[in-house]
Amino acid sequence: MNFNYSVEGGNFSKAGTASSQFKKVLKQLNVDPITIKRIVVALYEAEVNIVAHAWEGKIDIEVDMEKVYINLADKGPGIADINQAMKPGFSTASPSVREMGFGAGMGLMNIKNNVDSLHISSEVGKGTELEMTINLSSIISK
């Protein structure tokens, strides 16, 4: 099954809309609550990163029996040093974004902590692509 959402850069009044819509889908699909929570945290952080740091983006999600695969591709400034961006506390968020309580530099860590695999690629001046997978069986088999 495929699900697609688009994200507007800079529009904080809509930040989280895709995450909230996909959460409803996961509930309908009867995914277990713990896995839903992990997916929602990772998806929300990645969605908000497009809103906060990029110009526009697309979210493509593929769900099968074993996993949820999420691809977020944006047009934006890109990330020059991905290792540095992953460090807790590192943020390039603007003062106005920080005032809203974003820009703690914790989002990418939240993503990493909640997915089974994460791959980030980016080209400065062009955009960023995040691929993450959450295994649907991981909780059950543990």
Partner 1 sequence: MKVIEIQDALNLKVLGGEEGLQKDILGGYTSDLLSDVMGHAEQGYIWITLQTHKNVMAVASLKELAAVVLIKNNVPDEDMLEQANEEGIPVLVTNLSAFDISGKLFNLLTK
Residue 26 binds which entry of partner 1, Mg ion, ligand ATP, none, CB below 5-8 Å type-dependent: none
Residue 15 lies near partner 1 (rule: CB under 8 A): yes
Contacting residue, 20, 84, 96, 121, with partner 1 by CB under 8 A: 20
**Binders in 41-80 for Mg ion, by CB under 5 A:** 49
Q: Which residue has the tokens 């895709």?
A: 18
Give the number of residues in contact with partner 1, rule: CB under 8 A. Answer: 23
Q: Give how far the C-alpha of residue 59 lies from the chain's centroid of Cα atoms, to the nearest Å.
A: 9
Q: Which residue has the tokens 């713990």?
A: 34
Neighbours of 98 (CB within 10 A): 13
Residue 107 lies near Mg ion (rule: CB under 5 A): yes
Contacting residue, 8, 25, 41, 135, with partner 1 by CB under 8 A: 41
Shortest CA distance to 94 belongs to which of 84, 83, 102? 102
Rg (CA), the chain: 15
Contacting residue, 13, 28, 83, 141, with partner 1 by CB under 8 A: 13
